[in-house]
């Protein structure tokens, strides 16, 4: 580092950077025409040189201010030795020397030492007084100032000091001074200005200091960064330049420092100097961090006017756009493109159509071999402007010899081209490209496609791939990246290829599958009334494969009176065009066997094999037998995403991914082309209600209206039956709400029954391609109840929702029930209510996305470095074991074939083995019943399941942490609308959804709905359950008292409490006057003493107010108070528990089993209650569970140090060692200062650190290394840099 001393800038006439100024050319330059005067290099090659600024007086560094205070608290302010007594001193020193790595323990020890030192008021070495260090609040020119209250604990010494002062100062004795001064003397304290502190720190002996000197925390010389990091922008010739904020502040600092020197030289007053010093302090603080409290306001005060906010160093680093998150963790890249997307069902699912314009800009450096020589020569010939051409050539791969084909003669280039050269050619068909859509919430938001260069201007892909990107075509844009090496391409296509990622890693269900029109098309084709004659059949078959494949057409389903094939036969042909069609990769025969109920299938008909299932009158049961569609109308369950029995999933698992993707593409082609011929236009006539629907709607409406009217009448008369736990109003709302919710469903089912089978809405709803029951009824029937925050529309006016209604109206229409449909049109009040709910939805989505995004980011930061190692343990980047086996079974959730997370779907595997091998009586088989299988079948079955189990084991290197974080974060964004986030169990509401995940992740101390599940010892006895419920539930005196009366007798006044013994009996409480007396006495709020209470009989208590002559309060008020307080005295139960509910579940052997659900905290008390199975009581409150020392592992949280840490900035700081990772998360600057003070080092092993440093991450394909060492002479020269 070169050092120069810049001085205040003058105004040189030549507009050259002043020597010793903040832009001194010895520190480099930002002007292209100038050179650095230190190294004489131009801007491009000179990295700049540091200068320094010598300050007139030292100042505190605001980032180290806390550390300075800590050190000051620990040392004697007189002799600068550590305040600890020699024993403690040596043990503390040896601890710090011994424990070097564990920064958490070091920090804890430091805290303990500091606390210890603060208690010591007399220095054990020199005997001087020491008191607390105090900050002086900022104001005026005061900023970062400290005082030492030396005599805080030594009053006599203070007096001594005062008398000493008085003795010194006889003529102008302190006592004679003004009243103000007198008070001030009482507060007299040692002023700790930076100079004093610097002196103290310098006097600390080296033996007390560990790795660096504390005086370094105080700024005496300020480093001045090179000019290139704070470039000046020229404003035109001779017009001067605009300077960077840092330069401006630096010049201000120089000025401030100079002015101190000036004042001192001229002999200015002390106050004057202190003022200047304060200003310098402020400016330097501003230089480091302009957002500090105090700095901003003081600066605006000083300049008294609007001032743009200057960016200090801290501002450059922190935040989303800051250096860490904006430039180090994520960077802008070359070889990428972005444009609008559009659909193209004619593309293979793995393809992406790249516009020619883009293909001409995106290039790939291809090395010339004998195989591609001709093609590349042709590309060179085409040049940079004709696709497929080339833009540059690198002779023999030498990047210094890069020839631009725009200028380099093509002929020479072509003739020069040798094997080993590199040609940067245009993107051509089948190049590997990465395709991505933001927000990238999970790993399949970026996948590798094969390029297909086409004309026009959009990026196009098969709609089947919309799902993982969550893309639609309403103007979405997507990004395209071109990997630049063969290794990168190979890795990308293998690991990120679309075909290899048909399933979501979250639960393994298929995510790339038919959508929208493909579902509608397949539904229509597979319907029973679809028949094709011969020409049609051949034509449609050729649709599937662009007429590039051979077919062995099976005989028509109807041979006579005319030859007709059915749509189902067409789909079977698509699946298996020839008798012995083989799968594309694994080369097994394509034999699909699966059975499933479609979405409208009624599960209850499953057992009636003769009438239900296959013979389902609505053809909703789908059966594929050896790749032939036997029955069933295909819809979303069979062809769409998310089902593990679906056709494509079965294809994927039983054949291979390539075949599944191929059939998907074929289906897309067939459906879009067939639909193009068949036609599927949605028009007004599709939503016109027919007479029967109108009638059904009117009936339903009338019925509901009558019911509601009756309920409202009952409510008005006060006769309404209350719902448990609700008041009259709430009961009405609940009951009316239930009635009104049903209307829409009633109308929908009527509409479904009456609509023609070719009605477009109906078709789309039945195959689930678009629209639901609700949409049908909203369009055709009625819009139904509009809800705001889960209840009917609240009153916006006094006593009513809108002025169109009567006051206190409760009828459906007045509270937001919309009787009209979108077809009939809404009336004004209905429309208004409808907009209210519409807005709620919009607001909610906006709020939730931000919340979820932050949650996902935190989750990712905390789990990013977890991966499976070769010993099958899950470890973080430091090698700490988090789990011995991933998920305790080592299986990859992506490869689970059964719906409930089991690796193998036994039922389907048996069916498959039986269908594949022979046809011995195909009875209902279960995994427990193999008797009806042949030996061959059984063997096949066993081999298959063992093979599949082995395949399902998660691979070493898998980034399981990131996977987990994504699997929680991504679904979170899908969960909008608050109303979905609550669910009741046994009339108890439990928080669910995003708010609940947030509670768990934050490790919140207070959660919104804590519930304790309490199993009972005698769980079959209801009476017992009631008794225990009584013991647990909080019961106040008011609840069990018959009356609480104030008695005014002539002699005395008192309160009488009489217990309602009948009620006590009913509630199964163990209460009597004596127990109540005890409860009253132990209540902390009541000041009633033993002598004030007397019991009368077993159920009566007399309580006298604790009134005596001294009380300020009047006896009357005291009595009233007492009476009301007594009502709230808790007589039995656990105070923290609001409510307990008995939950009964039916047991198989008959009878019920009971357990309690308890609302509130207090697990420990509940467990200790007799009659409770304490050891198996559960709570949903994580932090409480921890305090009760029941360790339980929650997903997404770690207890490495035996402590549950929330995934927040506080918890993360405790679980992560890497400073760089923490700095890139939150509180960037604080972590950096902290690391500097404690001399922390970073291993660069985690994901964030590696990304920041640009090194490969030790996860996935980076988790292993080749240990073989080669002789340097044998080593092949690497191909690329």
For residues 619 and 1217, which CB has a smaller minimum distance to another protein in the complex?
A: 619
d(CA 1126, CA 1093) in angstroms, rounded, equals 12
Q: 10 Å Cβ neighbour count for 219?
A: 22
Contact (Cβ atoms closer than 8 angstroms) between residue 814 and residue 801: yes
Q: How far is the CB of 911 from another protein (least distance, A)?
A: 11
Beta bridge partners of residue 1093, listed in sequence order: 1103
d(CA 975, CA 309) in angstroms, rounded, equals 39
Among 130, 263, 504, 566, binds another protein (CB under 8 A): 566
Beta bridge partners of residue 868, listed in sequence order: 874
Among 301, 340, 419, 562, binds another protein (CB under 8 A): 562
938 binds another protein (CB under 8 A): no
Could you give the 3-state DSSP secondary structure of residue 413?
helix
For residues 608 and 1194, which CB has a smaller minimum distance to another protein in the complex?
A: 608
Among 208, 486, 491, 554, binds another protein (CB under 8 A): 554
Q: Which two tokens stand for residue 756?
A: 């023609």
Among 170, 332, 455, 579, binds another protein (CB under 8 A): 579
Residues 6 or more apart in contact with residue 1156 via CB below 8 angstroms: 1013, 1014, 1016, 1025, 1028, 1029, 1032, 1140, 1141, 1142, 1143, 1172
Q: How far is the CB of 556 from another protein (least distance, A)?
A: 7
* String marking each residue 597-626 x if it binds another protein according to CB under 8 A: ------------xx---xx-xxx---x-xx
For residues 561 and 1109, which CB has a smaller minimum distance to another protein in the complex?
A: 561
Among 559, 928, 1006, 1275, binds another protein (CB under 8 A): 559
Count of residues in contact with another protein, rule CB under 8 A:
43
Specify the stretch interacting with another protein by CB under 8 A; choose among 166-174, 567-575, 980-988, 1145-1153.
567-575
For residues 554 and 851, which CB has a smaller minimum distance to another protein in the complex?
A: 554
748 binds another protein (CB under 8 A): no
Q: How far is the CB of 575 from another protein (least distance, A)?
A: 14
Of the candidates 648, 630, 631, the residue with the CA atom closest to the CA atom of residue 640: 648
d(CA 655, CA 664) in angstroms, rounded, equals 14
* String marking each residue 625-664 x if it binds another protein according to CB under 8 A: xx-xxxx---------------------------------
Among 34, 248, 553, 1018, binds another protein (CB under 8 A): 553
555 binds another protein (CB under 8 A): yes
Residue pointed to by tokens 């789909």: 571
Q: How far is the CB of 1160 from another protein (least distance, A)?
A: 53
Instruction: Lay out the sheet containing 402-404: strands in order across.
Output: 363-367, 422-426, 390-394, 402-404
Beta bridge partners of residue 479, listed in sequence order: 338, 436
Q: How far is the CB of 635 from another protein (least distance, A)?
A: 14
**How many residues in the chain?**
1281
Q: Which two tokens stand for residue 495?
A: 């690991």
917 binds another protein (CB under 8 A): no
564 binds another protein (CB under 8 A): yes
For residues 838 and 918, which CB has a smaller minimum distance to another protein in the complex?
A: 918
596 binds another protein (CB under 8 A): no
d(CA 811, CA 708) in angstroms, rounded, equals 7
* String marking each residue 524-543 x if it binds another protein according to CB under 8 A: --xxxx-x------------
d(CA 475, CA 338) in angstroms, rounded, equals 12
Could you give the 3-state DSSP secondary structure of residue 565?
strand
d(CA 680, CA 673) in angstroms, rounded, equals 12
What secondary structure, in 3-state letters, does 419-457 show? CCCEEEEECCCCCEEEEECCCCCCHHHEEEEEEEEECCC
For residues 505 and 556, which CB has a smaller minimum distance to another protein in the complex?
A: 556
For residue 1210, CA distances in Å to 45, 858, 996 come to 43, 11, 20
Q: How far is the CB of 662 from another protein (least distance, A)?
A: 23
For residues 22 and 577, which CB has a smaller minimum distance to another protein in the complex?
A: 577
Among 757, 870, 1267, 1272, binds another protein (CB under 8 A): 757
Could you give the 3-state DSSP secondary structure of residue 280?
helix
Q: How far is the CB of 908 from another protein (least distance, A)?
A: 16
Question: Which helix (H) or strand (E) element contains residue 1103?
Answer: strand 1100-1103
Specify the stretch interacting with another protein by CB under 8 A; choose among 41-49, 274-282, 834-842, 921-929.
921-929
Give exposure, 935-953, as e/b (b: 16+ Cβ within 10 Å).
Answer: eebbebbeebbeebeeebb
Among 40, 308, 371, 560, binds another protein (CB under 8 A): 560
d(CA 482, CA 336) in angstroms, rounded, equals 6
For residues 251 and 566, which CB has a smaller minimum distance to another protein in the complex?
A: 566
Q: How far is the CB of 562 from another protein (least distance, A)?
A: 6
For residues 534 and 741, which CB has a smaller minimum distance to another protein in the complex?
A: 534
Q: Which two tokens stand for residue 1242?
A: 């970073």
For residues 387 and 551, which CB has a smaller minimum distance to another protein in the complex?
A: 551
For residues 630 and 1244, which CB has a smaller minimum distance to another protein in the complex?
A: 630
Contact (Cβ atoms closer than 8 angstroms) between residue 516 and residue 471: no
550 binds another protein (CB under 8 A): no
For residues 631 and 1259, which CB has a smaller minimum distance to another protein in the complex?
A: 631
For residues 678 and 1045, which CB has a smaller minimum distance to another protein in the complex?
A: 678
1277 binds another protein (CB under 8 A): no
For residues 616 and 1220, which CB has a smaller minimum distance to another protein in the complex?
A: 616
Q: How far is the CB of 781 from another protein (least distance, A)?
A: 21
One-character DSSP codes across 615-682: G-TT--EEEEETTEEEE----HHHHSTT-TTSHHHHHHHHS-HHHHHHHHHHHHHHHHHHHHHH----
- For 931, phi then psi, to 5°, come to -60, -25
Among 128, 229, 557, 990, binds another protein (CB under 8 A): 557
Among 58, 556, 771, 961, binds another protein (CB under 8 A): 556
Q: Which two tokens stand for residue 48?
A: 């700049």
* String marking each residue 482-521 x if it binds another protein according to CB under 8 A: ----------------------------------------
Specify the stretch interacting with another protein by CB under 8 A; choose among 78-86, 179-187, 554-562, 787-795.
554-562
Of the candidates 75, 87, 161, 187, the residue with the CA atom closest to the CA atom of residue 120: 75
For residues 647 and 1014, which CB has a smaller minimum distance to another protein in the complex?
A: 647
929 binds another protein (CB under 8 A): no
Q: How far is the CB of 523 from another protein (least distance, A)?
A: 13
Q: How far is the CB of 622 from another protein (least distance, A)?
A: 11
561 binds another protein (CB under 8 A): yes
Can you say whether residue 789 is alpha, beta or left, with left for phi > 0 and alpha for psi between -120 and 50 degrees? left
581 binds another protein (CB under 8 A): no
Specify the stretch interacting with another protein by CB under 8 A; choose among 364-372, 922-930, 1027-1035, 1243-1251.
922-930
One-character DSSP codes across 1226-1251: S-HHHHHHHHHHHT------SHHHHH
Give CA angle at 1180 (1179, 1186), nearest 5°: 70
Contact set with another protein (CB under 8 A) = 526-529, 531, 552-562, 564-569, 579, 609-610, 614-615, 617-619, 623, 625-626, 628-631, 757, 919, 921-924
């Amino acid at each position: 580092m070169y050092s120069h001393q810049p001085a205040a800038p003058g105004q040189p006439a030549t507009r050259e950077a002043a020597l010793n100024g903040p832009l001194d050319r010895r520190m480099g330059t930002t002007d292209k025409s100038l050179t650095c005067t230190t190294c004489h290099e131009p801007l491009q090659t000179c990295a700049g040189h540091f200068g320094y600024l010598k300050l007139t007086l030292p100042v505190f560094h605001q980032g180290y201010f806390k550390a300075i205070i800590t050190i000051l608290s620990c040392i004697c302010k007189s002799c600068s030795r550590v305040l600890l007594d020699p024993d403690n001193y040596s043990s503390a020193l040896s601890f710090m020397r011994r424990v070097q790595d564990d920064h958490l323990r070091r920090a804890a020890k430091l805290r303990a030492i500091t606390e210890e030192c603060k208690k010591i008021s007399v220095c054990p070495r020199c005997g001087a007084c020491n008191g607390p260090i105090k900050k002086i609040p900022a104001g005026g020119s005061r900023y970062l100032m400290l005082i030492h209250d030396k005599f805080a604990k030594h009053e006599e010494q203070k007096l001594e000091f005062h008398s000493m002062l008085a003795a010194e100062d006889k003529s102008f004795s302190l006592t004679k001074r003004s009243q103000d001064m007198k008070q001030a003397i009482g507060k007299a304290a040692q002023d700790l200005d930076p100079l004093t502190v610097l002196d103290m720190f310098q006097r600390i002996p080296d033996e007390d200091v560990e790795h660096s000197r504390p005086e370094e925390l105080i700024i005496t010389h300020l480093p001045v960064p090179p000019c290139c990091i704070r470039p000046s922008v020229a404003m035109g010739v001779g017009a001067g330049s605009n300077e960077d904020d840092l330069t401006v502040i630096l010049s201000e600092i120089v000025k401030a420092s100079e002015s101190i020197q000036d004042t001192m030289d001229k002999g200015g007053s002390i106050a004057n100097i202190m003022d200047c010093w304060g200003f310098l302090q402020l400016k330097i603080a501003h230089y480091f961090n302009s957002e500090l409290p105090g700095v901003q306001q003081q600066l605006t005060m000083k300049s008294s006017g609007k001032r743009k906010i200057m960016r200090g160093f801290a501002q450059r680093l922190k935040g989303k756009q800051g250096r860490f998150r904006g430039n180090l963790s994520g960077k802008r890249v070359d070889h990428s493109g972005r444009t609008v997307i559009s659909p193209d069902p004619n593309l293979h699912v793995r393809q992406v159509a790249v516009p020619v314009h883009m293909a001409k800009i995106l290039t790939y450096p291809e090395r010339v071999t004998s195989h591609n020589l001709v093609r590349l020569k042709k590309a060179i010939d085409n040049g940079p402007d004709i696709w497929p051409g080339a833009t540059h050539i690198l002779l023999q791969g030498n990047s210094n010899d890069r020839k631009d084909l725009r200028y380099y003669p093509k002929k020479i280039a072509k003739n020069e081209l040798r094997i080993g050269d590199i040609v940067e050619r245009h993107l051509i068909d089948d190049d590997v490209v990465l395709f991505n859509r933001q927000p990238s919430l999970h790993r399949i938001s970026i996948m590798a496609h094969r390029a297909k260069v086409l004309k026009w201007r959009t990026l196009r892909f098969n709609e089947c791939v919309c799902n993982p990107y969550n893309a639609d075509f309403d103007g979405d844009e997507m990004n395209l990246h071109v990997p630049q090496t063969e290794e990168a391409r190979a890795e990308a296509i293998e690991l990120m290829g679309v075909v290899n990622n048909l399933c979501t890693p979250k639960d393994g269900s298929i995510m790339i599958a038919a959508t929208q029109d493909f579902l509608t098309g397949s539904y229509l084709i597979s319907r029973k009334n679809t028949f094709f004659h011969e020409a049609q059949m051949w034509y449609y078959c050729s649709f599937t494969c662009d007429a590039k494949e051979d077919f062995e057409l099976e005989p028509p389903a109807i041979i006579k009176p005319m030859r007709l094939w059915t749509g189902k036969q067409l789909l079977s042909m698509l699946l298996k065009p020839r008798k012995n069609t083989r799968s594309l990769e694994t080369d097994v025969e394509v034999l699909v066997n699966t059975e499933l109920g479609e979405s409208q299938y009624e599960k209850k008909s499953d057992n009636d094999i003769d009438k239900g299932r296959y013979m389902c009158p609505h053809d909703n049961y789908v059966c594929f037998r050896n790749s032939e569609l036997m029955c069933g109308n295909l819809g979303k369950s069979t062809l769409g995403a998310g089902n593990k029995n679906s056709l494509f999933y079965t294809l994927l698992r039983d054949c291979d991914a390539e075949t599944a993707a191929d059939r998907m593409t074929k289906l897309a082609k067939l459906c879009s082309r067939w639909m193009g011929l068949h036609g599927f236009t949605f028009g007004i006539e599709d939503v016109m209600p027919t007479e029967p629907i109108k009638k059904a709607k009117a009936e339903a409406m009338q019925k509901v209206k009558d019911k509601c009217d009756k309920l409202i009448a009952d409510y008005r008369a006060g006769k309404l039956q209350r719902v448990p736990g609700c008041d009259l109003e709430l009961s009405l709302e609940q009951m009316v709400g239930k009635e009104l919710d049903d209307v829409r469903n009633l109308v929908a089912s009527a509409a479904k029954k009456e609509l023609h089978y070719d009605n477009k809405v109906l078709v789309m709803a039945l195959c689930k391609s678009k629209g639901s029951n609700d949409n049908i009824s909203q369009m055709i029937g009625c819009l139904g109840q509009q809800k705001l925050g889960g209840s009917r529309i609240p009153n916006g006016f006094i006593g009513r929702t809108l002025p169109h209604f009567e006051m206190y109206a409760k009828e459906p229409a007045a509270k937001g029930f919309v009787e009209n449909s979108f077809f009939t049109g809404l009336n004004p009040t209905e429309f208004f209510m409808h907009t209210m709910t519409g807005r709620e939805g919009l607001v909610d989505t906006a709020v939730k996305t931000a919340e979820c995004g932050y949650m996902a980011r935190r989750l990712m930061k905390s789990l990013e470095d977890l991966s499976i190692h070769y010993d099958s343990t899950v470890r973080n980047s430091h090698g700490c074991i988090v789990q011995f086996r991933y998920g305790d079974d080592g299986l990859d959730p992506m490869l689970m074939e059964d719906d409930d997370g089991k690796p193998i779907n036994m039922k389907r595997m048996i069916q498959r083995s039986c269908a594949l091998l022979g046809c011995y009586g195909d009875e209902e088989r279960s995994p427990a019943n193999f008797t009806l299988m042949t030996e061959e079948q059984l063997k096949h079955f066993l081999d298959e399941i063992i093979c599949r189990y082995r395949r399902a084991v998660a691979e070493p290197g898998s980034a399981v942490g990131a996977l987990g974080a994504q699997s929680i974060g991504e679904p979170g964004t899908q969960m909008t609308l608050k109303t979905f986030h609550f669910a009741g169990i046994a009339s108890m509401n439990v928080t669910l959804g995003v708010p609940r995940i947030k509670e768990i992740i934050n490790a919140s101390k207070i959660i919104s709905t804590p519930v304790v599940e309490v199993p009972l010892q005698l769980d079959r006895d209801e009476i017992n359950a009631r008794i225990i419920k009584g013991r647990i539930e909080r019961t106040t005196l008011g609840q069990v008292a018959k009356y609480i009366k104030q008695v005014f007798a002539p002699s005395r006044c008192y309160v009488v409490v009489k217990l309602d013994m009948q009620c006590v009996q009913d509630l199964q409480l163990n209460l009597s006057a004596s127990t109540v007396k005890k409860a009253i006495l132990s209540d902390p709020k009541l000041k009633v003493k033993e002598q004030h209470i007397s019991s009368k009989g077993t159920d009566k208590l007399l309580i006298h107010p604790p009134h005596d002559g001294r009380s300020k309060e009047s006896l009357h008020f005291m009595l009233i108070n007492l009476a009301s307080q007594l009502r709230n005295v808790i007589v039995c139960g656990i105070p923290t528990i609001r409510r307990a509910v008995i939950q009964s579940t039916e047991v198989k052997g008959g009878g019920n089993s009971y357990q309690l659900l308890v609302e509130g905290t207090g697990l420990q008390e509940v467990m200790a209650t007799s009659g409770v199975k304490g050891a198996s009581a559960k709570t949903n409150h994580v932090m409480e569970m921890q305090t009760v020392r029941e360790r339980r592992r929650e997903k997404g949280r770690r207890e490495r140090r035996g402590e549950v840490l929330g995934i927040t900035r506080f918890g993360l700081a405790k679980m992560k060692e890497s400073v760089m990772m923490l700095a890139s998360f939150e509180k960037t600057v604080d972590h950096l200062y902290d690391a500097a003070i404690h001399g922390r080092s970073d291993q660069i092993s985690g994901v964030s650190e590696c990304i920041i440093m640009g090194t490969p991450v030790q996860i996935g394909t980076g988790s292993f290394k080749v240990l073989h060492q080669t002789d340097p002479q044998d080593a092949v020269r690497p191909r690329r840099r």
